[in-house]
Structure 1
Amino acid sequence: MQKTLALCVLVTTYLCLVAGDVVTNFYDIPECYESFHKGWIPDLGKDRAEVVKLCHRFNNQYHFATLYDTYHRIAVYSAYIFEPSNGGGREKRWFIEPQLVDPSWSGEMKDGYWLGQDNPDIYLGEKQALNEDYTHSGFDRGHLNPNGHHAVPGRNATFTLTNVIPQNPKLNQNAWRIYETKLTEKFLNCPYQAHVLVGAIPSENNWIVKNNVNRVNIPEYIWNAYCCMGHNGWAEFSGGATALNTEQNIVVERTLEEMVEFLQQHSNTPVGELFRVC
């Protein structure tokens, strides 16, 4: 009887862990934990007070992981594995994470418009950006984790608003887009698996403001780092890039060592390694 009870507790605990996308630790959900290179979770974001860990679920599958800053309402970083495209167009919906509204809600990302229609008396945007925050803001909904780096349905999952930042339109549609395309070509030549981190560095005091309320921080920089692994488990190539989020429209490519130095300049705590053995 005791063994049966213990088994039930273990099963129940496991089901609770995989039921949602807001987690205490990324390794609570194995499919989420796999987004990180060799299971190495960076120290980035330890100097942020109001962060949550998200394991993004769409079509009952986990696709990537995000450390999300609920104060600035932009991601510290997202971690994902590159996938070659299998076709499929851009998602027309913008999703939000229900558990950032109410922890008891489903962890499956939902269309923000319809979730709002179904819950008219509940404000959905206390801890995350909403689609209306970006309307007439002058900024693009700039993907951090690019939809073009995934196959469907992972591609659809990148349209959660926790995966976008207010990005300067010129940068989003030109230099950064070209850089993402260059990465696609590079990753297609990766022998085994390309792990990617992409994130944003918040500005001191530059926000999308709605009704006299600071809603979404307009980041100062967007950045990217990657590590391609061969079948032998060793790194084949690596690198990264940064871009000032302005009409300057310039992407600066860097080594991983240079990326750590750059990120350290904008962190109050040690950044450490971005990837293990790369």
Structure 2
Amino acid sequence: MEREPEMGTFTSLCTLLSLLFFVHADIVEQFEDVPECLKYFYKSKVPKWGASTPGTKHLCQRFANRYHFATLYDTNHRIAVYSAYVFEPSNGGGREKRWFVEPQLVDKSWQGEMVDGYRLGKDHPGIYLGQKQALNEDYTHSGFDRGHLNPNGHHAVPGRNSTFTLTNVVPQNPKLNQNAWRIHESQLTDLFREKCSKAYVLVGAVPSVDNWIVKNNVKRVNIPEYVWNAYCCVDNNDRPIQSGAATAKNTDDNLVKKLSLDAFGKFLQQFSDQAVGEVFHNNCNH
């Protein structure tokens, strides 16, 4: 006569299956559930900023069957609240011609890895992919660039390729994207290469009150009022050695303002009714 499994064994099995599910999922309940995704946050501290935004999804950005960065995605505005990543020295390559979308934002049962939006549409004819995310066609002839938050130039292949997902871009003023912001990203590249053993970076956007890319009389993608980034640079012993932040109004002003993390926290606070808190553990101090 067979014995029924003990409750403890059953519970352990369920826990194991749950962990396996989270490890292989792209959209997760919280970043803390997935160690491979949590590693993009300094000392595993996930910012409070954006946590209360309605309709957000936690994306562990998966490409070539592994994670490369994390994105808190706002499905109502169809832009990211922020992307979090660790800088990787790069020798170029990996400039994608494809733009990826997140299948699980269409159907939770679909695959977790990002997919070329054109191909996914061909694989699922008659199913609209853009209910909860931006599509490549939204940006076409919009007058705005597909502005990377997590920049492709801060990664080596294949991480570089993974940044070409539409959940990692926002409508960015072309003058800003191609000039002042590009120069700022290049300056950070030099800084991270020369000074940091490892650099943890957050890059995000502040949505506008009511400025949108409109297609067929439908508000499709919010045009952010600001783009921003913040970084925590550490030495070989994971001790902070330098930090900073920058903001830029998403206009033809083409101006990047550099800030301390303390000043950056005050910048974010003006857009929130709740306490923003630290964006990095201990504000990237010893």
TM-score range, shorter chain: over 0.9
Equivalent-residue separation in structure 2 for 1:193 and 1:15 (angstroms)? 29
Residues 203-232 of structure 1 deviation map (CA, whole Å, 9 limit, x = unaligned): 011000001000000000000000001123
Contact 1:46 1:269 in 2 (8 A): no
Structure 1 runs of 4+ off > 2 angstroms?
1-11
* RMSD of Structure 2 on Structure 1 (CA): 1.2
Shift of 1:4: 5.6
The TM-score with structure 2 as length reference comes to 0.94
Give the alignment of 1:1-278 within 5 angstroms: 1-2=5-6, 5-277=10-282, 278=284
Shift of 1:191: 3.6
Contact 1:47 1:268 in 2 (8 A): no
Equivalent-residue separation in structure 2 for 1:267 and 1:40 (angstroms)? 20
Equivalent-residue separation in structure 2 for 1:209 and 1:270 (angstroms)? 32
One-letter code aligned to 1:78: S
The TM-score with structure 1 as length reference comes to 0.97
Shift of 1:189: 1.7
Residues 51-108 of structure 1 deviation map (CA, whole Å, 9 limit, x = unaligned): 1111000011001111111000001111100000043131111000000000011110
Contact 2:94 2:158 in 1 (8 A): no
Contact 2:28 2:60 in 1 (8 A): yes
Contact 1:19 1:106 in 2 (8 A): no
Identity of aligned residues (%): 64
The secondary structure found in structure 2 opposite 1:77 is strand
Contact 2:92 2:153 in 1 (8 A): no
Equivalent-residue separation in structure 2 for 1:28 and 1:46 (angstroms)? 15
One-letter code aligned to 2:126: D
Equivalent-residue separation in structure 1 for 2:196 and 2:261 (angstroms)? 19
Residues 2-31 of structure 1 deviation map (CA, whole Å, 9 limit, x = unaligned): 366455323321221122111001021111
One-letter code aligned to 1:187: F
Equivalent-residue separation in structure 2 for 1:4 and 1:49 (angstroms)? 38
The secondary structure found in structure 1 opposite 2:221 is strand
Equivalent-residue separation in structure 1 for 2:272 and 2:175 (angstroms)? 27
Contact 2:72 2:82 in 1 (8 A): yes
Contact 1:68 1:162 in 2 (8 A): yes
One-letter code aligned to 1:68: Y
- In our comparison, the structure showing a higher alpha carbon Rg is 2
Equivalent-residue separation in structure 2 for 1:8 and 1:262 (angstroms)? 46
The secondary structure found in structure 1 opposite 2:194 is coil
Contact 2:90 2:156 in 1 (8 A): yes
The count of aligned residue pairs is: 278
Which consecutive unaligned segments of at least 5 residues does structure 1 have?
none
